Amino acid sequence: MTHSPATAPARPEPDAVRPRTEATGVRRPPPVLGSLAILATLVMLGHALVPNRVGRLGSLVETFLPWTGLAVPLLLLCALARRSRAAAVPVLLPAVVWCSLFGGTLVDKREDGGNLTVVTHNVNEHNPRPVRTARALAGSGADVLALEELGGPSTATYERTLADTYPYHSVHGTVGLWSRYPVADARTVDIAPWPRALRATVRTPEGPVAVFVAHLMSVRFTAGSGFASDARDAAARRLTAAVRAELLPRTILVGDLNGTTDDRALSGLTSRLRSVQDESGAGFGASWPASFPVARIDHILVRGVEPRSAWTLPATGSDHLPVAASVRV
């Protein structure tokens, strides 16, 4: 008698898109997406451990640290492309961490009650419309106005256009201070080979306030040298020393620091002064570049006064947005 061969059981097709555990059949997230989610989380939490010795990589990461949150929607899109709910699970980790680090920044913390309004603006020495820029700043309602990157004939244009609104002013090199209130003891702060910072006493109705205006050196990113910030970092250390030596208890530092408050190179300043934007702003307050702001490198930092509100002003002819703050002296 002949026997028909036994029919072999059908072999299941491998599920490359949705891998399962052998024991339970539960779909596991793809290892690549899980690894990327962990990497994004580690960068957010451990950015201070990213070394700065090679190409100032740590400062580069910290300059754009809030943008690490873009990893979350990108990973979610990858999970959707794979049609895998399991692949979306690891994305919860960087999402939760980003919200814990930056979620509070998105809350509107602005309040009334300030009695001194401060505006700072890198006006760009190549600004084609200095008169228009000066008029916009004069109409901002600022009591104290700081300008950076002055130079050439435009300096006289700003002095002439702002004179009616601000009877007191002092210009040192490429930075200047205009005020509705008397200005005294103005001097250059030595942070660079040429004047890029000043310190003055503004005699407000509530008492004297030390105001520093600074423009730290620019940074560049190249494939060969990485994030070139040595000159800026050295200027930041000199500025920190000047702020530390300030005797007046009420101090305001404004200007283009060419770095964010997350950047470790500015920790000497941010550990002694409070960011008005961080404490009383709404959103990240990015100020550069004006056409599509991605980083807040223009700052108003304070000590001995109470932050009440912070915001950015409309674009002028500069590549920076003006930033403003209201504080209570």
Q: Do 66 and 164 belong together in one domain?
A: no
Last-in-domain residue among 106, 141, 165: 106
pLDDT for res 16: 46
Amino acid at 34: G
Whether 153 and 131 share a structural domain: yes
Range 235-255 average pLDDT = 98
Mark whether 97 and 125 lie in a shared domain.
no
- Amino acid residing at 37: A
Phi and psi, residue 264, nearest 5°:
-60, -25
Residue 8, both tokens: 């072999």
In a domain, residue 20? The reply is no
Predicted confidence (pLDDT) at residue 144 exceeds the cutoff of 50: yes
- 59 Cβ contact list (under 8 Å, min separation 6): 52, 219, 227, 229, 259, 263, 264, 265
| Res. 147: pLDDT tops 90 | yes
233 and 175, same structural domain? Answer: yes
- Based on the fold, state whether residues 101 and 122 are members of the same structural domain: no
Tokens of 119: 């505006």
State pLDDT tens for residues 43-88: 999 998 998 887 788 888 999 999 999 999 998 888 888 777 777 7
To 5 degrees, how large is the angle CA 291–CA 296–CA 297?
Answer: 100
What tokens does 127 get? 């600004």
Q: Work out the number of other CB atoms within 10 angstroms of the CB of residue 214.
A: 29
Residue 97 to residue 79: CA distance in whole angstroms: 19
The answer to whether residues 171 and 160 touch, using CB atoms and an 8 Å cutoff, is no
Q: 240 and 139 share a domain?
A: yes
Q: What is the pLDDT of residues 99-130, one digit of tens each?
A: 999 999 999 999 999 999 999 999 999 999 99
What Å distances lie between residue 69 and 37, 51, 179, CA to CA?
11, 21, 40
User: What's this model's pTM, rounded to 2 decimal places?
Assistant: 0.85
- Please check whether residues 121 and 156 belong to one and the same domain: yes
The number of distinct structural domains making up the chain is 2
Q: Supply the range of the domain harboring residue 222.
A: 116-328
Asked whether residue 68 falls in the same domain as residue 145, the answer is no
